[in-house]
Amino acid sequence: MELITFQPVFPWVALAIVFAAALLMLLIGPSFIELNRSRRITLTGLRLGVILLVFLAMLRPGCVEKIEKNQAAILLFLLDSSRSMELPHVADDSSRWKAMVEMVRENESRIAKLAENKIETKFYTFDNRQQLLNVEGGVVNLPDKPEGAETDIGSALYRTSIDARDQRLLAVVMATDGNQNALEPEIEISQAAEALEDMEVPLLAVQLGLAGDSGQLADVAITNFPEQLVVNKKNDLIAKATMVTRGYVNQNVKVQLVVSDENGVEQTVATEVFRPSRPFEETNIELKYRPTEPGEFRIKVRAVPMPDEKAVRNNELDGFLTVRDQGMRVLFVNGALGNEQRFLRYSLPALDFVDMDFFPIYPSENARRQWPLKTLESEFRDPKKYDVFILCNVDSTALSPASWDALAEAVGAGKGLLMLGGTHSFGAGQYFKTALADLLPIKMDPRERQEFDQDIRRELHINSPFKLKPVRNDFLTRISDVESYKKAWEELPPLVGANRISVKETATVYLVSDDDANRPIMASATVGGRVLVFAGDSTWRWRRLGFEAEYNRFWRQVVLWLAFWDARSDEAVSIELPKRRFNAKSLVKFGVVVKSIAGEVVEDVDFDAKLILPSGEEKLISITKSGDSFQSVLEPEMVAEAGLYQVRVAANRNGNPVGESAREFVVMDRDKEKANPVANPEQMKRLADQTREFGGRAIPPEQLSEILDEYIDNPPMTKIEIPNRRRLGESMPDATIFIVVFVGLLGTEWWLRKKWGLV
C-alpha cells in the first residue's frame, strides 16, 4: 500500500457538521428510567461504533498500490496485397509479391525470437482495406496471391497504427511499391505520416519494384485522351492524346485511332509512327480523322504493344465521338470592350463544333458619328450563315432599324439570341424602340435611357455584389451533377452587379439574385427561336477565381440551348452522364430529366430502367428522386466487367409512355493496379523520412533481417508502474464484513435496550 485516498460523498465541512451533531446526540439519554454508569457507557460505545462506521462509509476510503512490470512492445507489419504486387520487382521479372513473401519467410525464425523477448508482431495485408493475418509459432499465414482491388497506403497506415496507439508501438514495417492507386482514399498519405510523427513511431518502408528512371523498365502508355469528342460530318477531327514511353529509345512506336460502330465493328482510321529519342519521353499525339456519317461512335487511341512490354493494359484509352450533321456558327456583336466578352470569346470557340465570328462596335465619339451601321443587315438575313447571335452591351442606335428588323425575323424563324447585361443593354440601350422589343422576355421603359458620356444611372443597376440562385432544374442551370447543381451555384463567386430587369408574364425565369429581393437575372422566351437575357456582365470572375469548369459548362450550355442542341432536346427523356469512361468496379452515377413538350421539367413520372452489360445480360436498375431531379447509382459490382455498357430508361406518366432514351459508357480493360509497371520508391522514402528523428527510413527487403536482429539482441524493454486501486465496499469481502459489523452493532444495541426495559 503506497497511498491512502478518500472520496467523501459530501464536502468535508458538511461531514464534520453531521459527525459533530451525531456525537452530541450521544449525550441525550432516556428520561423515563435511570441508567447506571456501566450500562450508559455500553450503549454509548455501541452507538459510537455505528456512527463511526457510517462516517467511514461516507468518507469512502481506499488505497492505491503501484506494481512495476515490464512493458511488451508491438512491431506492426503492413504487406501490400493489391494486384500491382504481381508486377516485376527487378529486371529478371520476379514479382514484388514473391520478393515480399521471401522476405517474410526468411525472417520467421526471428519473429519467433521476438515473441520470446516480449515483442509482439502483428501482420496485416492491405489494399483498400486491412486484414489481420494469423501468426502461429512465427509462421505467417500469407495469401496464395495478391488479389486486392486498389492500393490505399494512407488509410492502411493510419488505421492500423491508431488501433495500436494504446500499446507500445515499436515500429511500423510497410512493404509496398509506393503507388497510391485508390481514387478516393479515406486517409491521405500525409495525414497518416503526421499521425506516426505525433506518436513518435518510426516507419520502416520496404521498397518493392523498380523506379521509372531505373532504365530497366520497358513500357508504353496512353495517359490522356478526352472522354467525349464532337465534330461535324465531313469535318476534320484532330484527336489529341498523350503517350508516355520508357525504354524504347530510337524504336518505332505505332499509334492508331480506332472507331467502332454501333455493332462493335472496329476500323482503324488513322495511324502514326513515333520514335522516342530519350529513355523516358512524353509525347503529344495528334491523329486526324474525317467522319462521313453522323451518329455516336466509340473511339480509342491505341499504342501497338512493343517487345518486352510487361503492362499492356495501359496501351489504349476509350472515348465517345458524336458526329453531327452540321456545326454551329455564332455571331458575337460587342459594344464597349470588357472582361465578359473577352472570356466568352476564349471559352465558346473551344467547343470543336462552334465557329464564332466577332464583330466589335466601339462606342467612341468618332465611331458614333458613323452610326447607325448597316453592315450586319445582310448577315442577319442570311438563314444559312449563323445559328446564334450574341449581343453584349450594344446600344440599339449602333445599328440601323432595318438591321434590327432582320435580326428579329431571323430569331422568329428559329435562330437563337442572347443579350447580356451592360450600361447600354435592354432599356438603357433603347431596345424598346426596336423590333426586338416584342421578342425579349423583359419589360422596358423609355425613361431607362442611358446617354453616352454621362454618369451611369445607378438606379438602372444592382450596385452591390450578389450570388445567383437557380429557380428551376433545367439544362441551363445544371452546372454540376444533377443532385448537387444547387450547391454548385452557392459556391460560385458573386457577380459584382447587374442590370435591373422586369420580366414579362410569359417569360421563364431561370436565375435570380440570392438576396431577399430575388431579382430576376436570367429569363427566356420562345418566339420561333429561343431568346435569353442575362442581366449580369461579370461571370468572368468565376473563371478567374478558380471555377473555370463551371464557367465553361454554363456558357457552353447556354449556346447549345439557344441552338436547340441541349441534351437531346428533341427527346422527352434525357440521360445526363457527365463521365463516359470508368475503371472496373467504379461507382457510376447519372441523372435523368423528363421534359414536357413546352420544355418544362416533369417530376410525377415512373421509370423502367435497365443496364445492358457487355455480355448482353440485362439488369434492372432503380431511379430515385433527389430534390427536384432524378438520379441513379450503379453499385461497383454491377460494372465489374470491362467493355461497353448501355443504360436504357423509359418514362411513364399515369400509365402512359412519355419517352425513352439510351446512353452508353465504357468500363476500361485497364486494371489500374497493373497498368503502371513503375514503382514509386521516392514516395515511400519521403514518408519514412518524416519519422527519421525516431529511426524511420526506407530499406530494401534484404535489410529487414538486420533490423530484426538488432531488436532481438537489444530488446527495447521498458518498466511501467501499473496502479492497483482498491476502495472500501468495492469487493465482496469488504462489503460483507462492513454489513456484518454494522448490523451486529445495531442488533446488539437494540437487544440490550430491550433487555434493560428501554423499549
320-371 tens-digit pLDDT = 888 877 678 899 999 987 889 989 988 876 665 678 899 999 898 898 999 9
CB 509 within 8 A of CB 470: no
Residue with cell 464536502: 11
CB 681 within 8 A of CB 175: no
d(CA 12, CA 16): 6
Q: What's the pLDDT score for residue 727?
A: 79
Name which of 383, 625, 426 is nearest 535 in CA terms: 426
CB 241 within 8 A of CB 266: no
Greatest alpha-carbon span in the chain = 136
CB 377 within 8 A of CB 319: no
Q: What is the mean pLDDT of the chain?
A: 86
CB 150 within 8 A of CB 85: no
* The amino acid at 414: G
Q: Is 669 exposed, middle or buried (0-12, 13-18, 19+ CB in 10 A)?
A: middle
Q: Which residues share a beta bridge with 3?
A: 64
Main-chain phi, psi angles of 749, to 5 degrees: -65, -40
Extract the residue ranges of the chain whose pLDDT is less than 50: 1, 567-571, 598
* The amino acid at 275: R
Which triple of cell numbers denotes residue 623?
A: 431511379
Q: What's the pLDDT score for residue 406?
A: 96
Between the two ends of the chain, the Cα-to-Cα distance in Å is 45
The CATH architecture that domain 70-211+679-719 belongs to is 3-Layer(aba) Sandwich (3.40)
Rg (CA), the chain: 40
* CATH class in words for 219-324: mainly beta
Residues in the chain: 759
- 746's enclosing H/E stretch is helix 732-755
Name which of 408, 406, 383, 412 is nearest 528 in CA terms: 412
**3-class secondary structure per residue, 160-207:** HHHHCCCCCEEEEEEEECCCCCCCCCCCCHHHHHHHHHHHCCCEEEEE
Q: What's the pLDDT score for residue 17?
A: 85
Domains 219-324 and 573-671 share a fold: yes
All residues at 6 or more sequence positions from 699 whose CB lies less than 8 Å from its CB, including other chains: 204, 205, 206, 207, 707
Which triple of cell numbers denotes residue 69?
A: 512490470
Q: Which residues share a beta bridge with 416?
A: 388
All residues at 6 or more sequence positions from 367 whose CB lies less than 8 Å from its CB, including other chains: 361
What ranges do the domains of the chain cover?
3-60+728-755, 70-211+679-719, 219-324, 328-562, 573-671
CB 178 within 8 A of CB 157: no
Which triple of cell numbers denotes residue 499?
A: 442590370
All residues at 6 or more sequence positions from 116 whose CB lies less than 8 Å from its CB, including other chains: none
406-409 LR contacts (CB < 8 Å, sep 24+): 406/376, 406/377, 406/380, 406/381, 407/376, 407/380, 407/435, 407/436, 408/434, 408/435, 408/436, 408/438, 408/439, 409/380, 409/381, 409/435
Which triple of cell numbers denotes residue 361?
A: 462596335
d(CA 547, CA 551): 6
Q: How far is CA 622 from CA 33, 412, 427, 577, 626, in A?
A: 94, 42, 49, 16, 13
Which triple of cell numbers denotes residue 536?
A: 449580369
d(CA 420, CA 403): 19
Q: What's the pLDDT score for residue 674?
A: 66
* The amino acid at 624: T
Across the chain, how many H-helices and E-strands are there? 17, 40
pLDDT in tens, 666-698: 887 666 666 667 788 888 899 999 999 999 999
Residue 441 DSSP one-character state: S
d(CA 634, CA 83): 24
If one looks up domain 328-562 in CATH, what number appears?
3.40.50.880
User: Beta-strand (E) ranges in 366-425?
Assistant: 388-392, 416-420
Main-chain phi, psi angles of 344, to 5 degrees: -65, -35
Q: Among positive and negative, which fits the CA dihedral 565, 566, 569, 575?
A: positive
All residues at 6 or more sequence positions from 731 whose CB lies less than 8 Å from its CB, including other chains: none
d(CA 468, CA 576): 23
Main-chain phi, psi angles of 94, to 5 degrees: -65, 135
d(CA 275, CA 510): 53
Q: What's the pLDDT score for residue 570?
A: 43
Name which of 109, 43, 106, 111 is nearest 77 in CA terms: 111
Q: Is 35 exposed, middle or buried (0-12, 13-18, 19+ CB in 10 A)?
A: middle
Q: Is 259 exposed, middle or buried (0-12, 13-18, 19+ CB in 10 A)?
A: buried
According to DSSP, the β-strands at 354-360 and 328-334 are: parallel
Q: What's the pLDDT score for residue 504?
A: 94
- Asked if residue 61 has a cis previous peptide bond (ω within 30° of 0), the answer is no
Q: Among positive and negative, which fits the CA dihedral 667, 668, 672, 673?
A: positive
Q: Which CATH superfamily is domain 573-671 in?
A: Immunoglobulins (2.60.40.10)
Q: What's the pLDDT score for residue 183?
A: 66
Q: How far is CA 566 from CA 226, 486, 556, 560, 631, in A?
A: 20, 19, 10, 5, 19
**Helix (H/G/I), strand (E/B), else coil: 700:** coil
Which triple of cell numbers denotes residue 456?
A: 451611369
Which triple of cell numbers denotes residue 356?
A: 464564332
d(CA 16, CA 266): 97
113-131 residues labelled b (16+ CB within 10 A) or e (exposed): bbeeeebbbbbbbbbbebe
Helices (H), 77-134: 96-106, 108-116
